[in-house]
Amino acid sequence: PGPALISVLGDSGAYSAAWASNISAGPGEAGQDLALSIACSGTAGGLFAAGPVISSDGVLSFTPAATKSGAANCSVTLAEAGQGGLKATAALSIVVADVNYAPSFEAGAARITVAEGSPAYSAAWATNISAGPGDDEDVSLAIECDAAAGSLFAAGPAISAAGVLSFTPARFKSGSSRCSVTLAEAGAGGLSANASLVIEVTADAAAAAAAAAYGDIMISRHTGIKNRTQ
């Protein structure tokens, strides 16, 4: 017999390799009809998309089912034809190892532009959020922005588990902030997916003029000068 344990990854595709060799009916029985077969238990029912089967010349073949993992305990039998014939058996375990697929999402616009002092912004940005094929890992969305965000926003930016981006621009502030949105598996060392985003807050000319006028009024109150140019 071949190895007692065969281990493959869940996404490895069809497996086919010689497992039983030197197949013999026994001394002096060269003409004896033989049958080679395999029977499996354990999680074999849902573990394979095809097989396991073994050919008359000892080639073992099977195809793991997509997104499945587990172990199948199998017995390979070489038997003489007819009832009561002698037989030989060997044990085989087939392990299909779990594949940890990276999470994924579809990113929204790479740049979002709003005016300074505009109302709170809230809109879907990350869509088709997935932990990966067949994975039941806990995943979380997070957003991190550069230092400019500290003065540029009155609240946020933040992103919800459903991918909704929200923030509130600060009054009388303009500029841009570079952010990174990350979808990560829970725990240290988990796989993740990332996308970049720039949030730009443009200057409001009317607001700037009003602020300047307010400054002129305050100066005139304290100095008696009507405006800065006089």
Average pLDDT over residues 119-142: 89
Three-state helix/strand/coil letters over 83-136: CCCCEEEEEEEEEEECCCCCCEEECCCCEEEEECCCCCEEEECCEEEECCCCCC
Of the pLDDT bands very low, low, confident and very high (cuts 50, 70, 90), residue 27 is confident
Is a pLDDT exceeding 70 seen at residue 65? yes
pLDDT of residue 230: 46
Q: Poorest-confidence range of 42-46, 47-51, 73-77, 98-102?
A: 42-46
Distances in Å between the Cα of 140 and the Cα atoms of 65, 163, 166 are: 28, 10, 16
Is a pLDDT exceeding 80 seen at residue 32? no
> Rounded distance, CA 36 to CA 56, Å?
6
pLDDT of residue 89: 94
pLDDT of residue 93: 96
**Who wins on pLDDT, 8 or 148?**
8
Is a pLDDT exceeding 80 seen at residue 214? no
Give me the domains of the chain, ranges plus CATH numbers.
Answer: 5-97 (2.60.40.10), 104-222 (2.60.40.10)
Is a pLDDT exceeding 60 seen at residue 229? no
Contact at 8 Å (CB) between 58 and 19? yes
- pTM, rounded to two decimals: 0.65
pLDDT of residue 67: 82
**Who wins on pLDDT, 139 or 209?**
139
Is a pLDDT exceeding 90 seen at residue 4? yes
**Who wins on pLDDT, 104 or 190?**
104
